Structure 1
């Protein structure tokens, strides 16, 4: 296959236009947006870690655990139903707005009532007011303009990009001001609440609509509501189980280190996987009536996501110690071993996570419940046992075990939903995994050179080492892809985009030199 064929990006027999092109461009825009937002989050994190202590982060992590569990339990599939709907009418939008307001009211009352008992359970009265304040964040997230769905259905994510970047930047300024004024854990809580507040305001600037409280089209949401709510309950418990359980077995400072490592390990998920997942539902919904096309689209998208996430996870895991030393400072070095072990677990969930979008697209939301329920039944008892016997190390090991079980469950469910054989999935991911292993060997050779460097040389060394690793990964993946006969699918799409980007950079460089 020639370069012209690659740049043309024939994916699954179709030129890279129409749905495929919109999906790729939408995913790229969302990824850039999320990278920008995460960069702002990282700046916020660096500022707060230099002004606050691990104990402060551990305290907020305990309060956030209850808030995030309740938020997930009361999460409504409003956006998913609107995206999947044949037509978005004004009554449907008003119903979505009403459901969001009711959800916020119920969520706020539940958190207010449970704040004090939860604080007593962990023996710290400061947790109760923290929970009540942090409850504002999920309430505000549910009050964003539902009319934003018009942009999502067209795969126009510019409003999301501007809203997220501006909201995060303003939240950084507010949190930094609170941190400088108080040197208190309230700065972390302020950052969590300020961002959704600004984002909600910006959503109405992009998609204005008059408030209308009605439930005329509630039946559109009812079928998805029951299954999705149950799935969200178990998903929330799965997500926060280790923090919730570890808080009973380890000191606050150790919990703060673990929470920081967990948040850093989730950066590839938040910056790459989650924004790409937002394109899955609209893309798969348009293929729901063609089983073969749906299967190929899902496999292509999943392979593309895996190939993007793999090198970032490898770099984060193998370069954890110099990254933590540079970004957070010496007193946070306890984060590094946790981060090295937690980061690779994300790869096990790159097949598991997109299944919720697929289940909604094919009209079988009950499949999401099966996924999260199996994970819950495995995770909770294993985490309790491991935390009791081995503390922090045991809880980290359980994540890997649960990830492997979740992967197996996802492969079985994929075959039941769309007839996708597990072997096809594993074969499609074999080449990105082999390229990631080659990158890992390169980083292992280069890593010792980063020891003992000062901040500026360390930063330059990390950029050089990480950049070389990414370039080596890209070359290895391209070589393996060519060796396999240049198959269509996710790798073809990713290599085509990378080839186009490199060619444009070279042309601009040549023009600048001329």
Structure 2
């Protein structure tokens, strides 16, 4: 257990460092592109990228998860995985390119012909990536993931910003996507040498595990992507641009704050799947830490969204403020059950994950489509918040079924974090009334600094006070402190393990 914990800590440290750099690059890219391009540019590319994601995720073979869980991997397994991914990438890439003309006719936008050709090239390149990369995740080795994540993001940002600056065209977004995929392809073979061969000897073996994971992926993709296509058709590209950019911004704080930890959960839970008591304890500890980190990240971002978007992106993006405020908050709350997928895959209960996803699809589609017709973009956001809360409860019920941890127990380990988040919200909103009126850029910058510092101070002090009042019990406060101490010990200069 100590060895696994140490690997998880070092892995989380590498991934945290990578995510910090990627996050910084994302912010730079988002601000630059928002300044150089229009919401309409983002909207038309969002239609193409959504269709690309729908096609690729619906046909996802989930071979990586099958390789992680397989007990006796051989080169033939990787050859089979490469062959299946390459065939899929070639077929889908060609199909997306050919879909450009009918899609342009449907949306009455000829720009989609060229954009879809770019999406097809990106999918084709993605199908050729190195399948042996999964060995690094399987062995809880993550420094190569650092190299891959940072390099692909850096190249994509540079390429897109340069093209946007020179041409002020939506092509900047397309070039960034293709450049990112090409970098992923090259670096994947650099960090983990592998000579691919064609073969399907273990195709059936790999698909036997991944079939339900793929089914879950199909339903989840329909669940989370269909609204973009509806908005583009019914509300127009400008509304879609605000929605897609606002949705991406809303997801960043929670995603970037928790992904380094969550990426380690599936391999870690898989290593404990034969010891249910140990697994249950590990899940509760891990989930409490994720939520304790996500709440200040997501809700804090919602509190500073207004001045931050006005300062960084300009007045043309003001309609995205409400989107960020609502979705960033619900993303943070949803982390209560966000690790149910990793738990279900580790236990081989992928059919349950599929049933859960179908249930949410049946709930989300009519609610979101109905709200869109009745109330426009604001209705979509309201429906997403409501269904997000429902999804949180459903995931917690699923966890109870998988490891026999009741919903009440899951809520109890997060109670102090939610109380501290409530104090943070009330206190920060109170501070807003004492801030000077926005007169210029400096007043916006001052507001961001004051609100951000207030949020951090109120959340951290409230957590510590509540923890002490409760008698310093085991919980996320101790786990985060222990995690930070171990990360520092591993990474500090002169450390033998660094």
Alpha-carbon offset, residue 28 of structure 1: 3.2
The counterpart of 2:43, out of the listed 49, 58, 65, is 58
Residue 338 of structure 2 corresponds to which residue in structure 1?
353
Residue 4 of structure 1 corresponds to which residue in structure 2?
none
Residue 378 of structure 2 corresponds to which residue in structure 1?
393
- TM-score w.r.t. the length of structure 2 is 0.93
Residue deviations 1:198-217 (CA, integer Å, cap 9, x gap): 12211111101111111122
Structure 1: distance between partners of 2:354 and 2:257? 24
Alpha-carbon offset, residue 499 of structure 1: 6.3
Alpha-carbon offset, residue 80 of structure 1: 1.3
Report runs of 4+ in structure 1 exceeding 4 Å deviation: 498-504
- Answering whether residue 18 of structure 2 is matched by residue 33 of structure 1, we say yes
Residue 494 of structure 1 corresponds to which residue in structure 2?
480
Q: Cα gap change, 1:24/1:441 in structure 2, threshold over 3 Å: closer, same or farther?
A: farther
8 Å CA contact 1:299, 1:489 repeated in 2? no
Residue 465 of structure 1 corresponds to which residue in structure 2?
451
8 Å CA contact 2:37, 2:170 repeated in 1? yes
Structure 2: distance between partners of 1:380 and 1:147? 37
The counterpart of 2:59, out of the listed 74, 90, 94, is 74
Residue deviations 1:37-68 (CA, integer Å, cap 9, x gap): 12112211211111111111111111111111
The counterpart of 1:124, out of the listed 109, 122, 127, is 109
Alpha-carbon offset, residue 494 of structure 1: 0.9
- Answering whether residue 179 of structure 2 is matched by residue 179 of structure 1, we say no
Residue 160 of structure 1 corresponds to which residue in structure 2?
145
Aligned residues between the structures: 491
8 Å CA contact 2:400, 2:407 repeated in 1? yes
Alpha-carbon offset, residue 503 of structure 1: 11
The counterpart of 1:259, out of the listed 235, 240, 244, is 244
Alpha-carbon offset, residue 116 of structure 1: 2.8
Alpha-carbon offset, residue 107 of structure 1: 1.9
Residue deviations 1:246-277 (CA, integer Å, cap 9, x gap): 22321321221111110100102431333332
Residue 283 of structure 1 corresponds to which residue in structure 2?
268
8 Å CA contact 1:245, 1:383 repeated in 2? no
Residue 316 of structure 2 corresponds to which residue in structure 1?
331
8 Å CA contact 1:299, 1:490 repeated in 2? no
Alpha-carbon offset, residue 144 of structure 1: 2.2
Q: Cα gap change, 1:56/1:419 in structure 2, threshold over 3 Å: closer, same or farther?
A: same
SS in 1 for 2:33: helix
- Answering whether residue 220 of structure 2 is matched by residue 229 of structure 1, we say no
8 Å CA contact 1:356, 1:367 repeated in 2? no
Alpha-carbon offset, residue 502 of structure 1: 9.7
Residue 496 of structure 2 corresponds to which residue in structure 1?
none
Q: Which sections of structure 1, spanning at least 5 residues, go unmatched? A: 1-13, 508-514
Structure 1: distance between partners of 2:308 and 2:436? 10
SS in 2 for 1:363: coil
Residue deviations 1:5-37 (CA, integer Å, cap 9, x gap): xxxxxxxxx7xx322232233223212212211
Residue deviations 1:86-145 (CA, integer Å, cap 9, x gap): 233211121221122122123213323433333322221222321221233343334322
Q: Cα gap change, 1:475/1:342 in structure 2, threshold over 3 Å: closer, same or farther?
A: same
Structure 1: distance between partners of 2:27 and 2:147? 18
Alpha-carbon offset, residue 360 of structure 1: 1.2
Residue deviations 1:178-228 (CA, integer Å, cap 9, x gap): 112321101011112211211221111110111111112223322233212
8 Å CA contact 1:249, 1:391 repeated in 2? no
The counterpart of 2:305, out of the listed 293, 311, 320, is 320
8 Å CA contact 2:337, 2:399 repeated in 1? no
8 Å CA contact 2:93, 2:119 repeated in 1? no
Q: Which moved more, 1:29-38 or 1:369-378?
A: 29-38
Q: Cα gap change, 1:218/1:182 in structure 2, threshold over 3 Å: closer, same or farther?
A: same
SS in 2 for 1:213: coil
Instruction: Report which structure shows greater RCO (CA 8 Å, sep ≥6).
Output: 1
SS in 2 for 1:488: coil
Residue deviations 1:385-444 (CA, integer Å, cap 9, x gap): 100010011100111111122122112211222212111111111111111111112221
SS in 1 for 2:233: coil
- Answering whether residue 209 of structure 2 is matched by residue 241 of structure 1, we say no
Residue deviations 1:363-384 (CA, integer Å, cap 9, x gap): 1111221221111111111111
Cα-Cα RMSD: 2.3
Residue 43 of structure 1 corresponds to which residue in structure 2?
28
SS in 2 for 1:266: helix
Q: Which moved more, 1:453-462 or 1:187-196?
A: 453-462
Structure 2: distance between partners of 1:138 and 1:466? 39
8 Å CA contact 1:450, 1:458 repeated in 2? no
Alpha-carbon offset, residue 486 of structure 1: 2.9
SS in 1 for 2:472: coil
The counterpart of 2:8, out of the listed 18, 23, 29, is 23
- Answering whether residue 404 of structure 2 is matched by residue 404 of structure 1, we say no
Q: Cα gap change, 1:101/1:503 in structure 2, threshold over 3 Å: closer, same or farther?
A: closer
Alpha-carbon offset, residue 501 of structure 1: 8.0
The equivalences for 1:364-513 within 5 A come to 364-448=349-433, 449=435, 451-452=437-438, 454-456=440-442, 458-498=444-484
Structure 2: distance between partners of 1:168 and 1:132? 21
8 Å CA contact 2:125, 2:185 repeated in 1? yes
Q: Which moved more, 1:378-387 or 1:243-252?
A: 243-252
8 Å CA contact 1:439, 1:472 repeated in 2? yes
Structure 2: distance between partners of 1:346 and 1:179? 30
SS in 1 for 2:264: helix
Structure 1: distance between partners of 2:193 and 2:369? 48
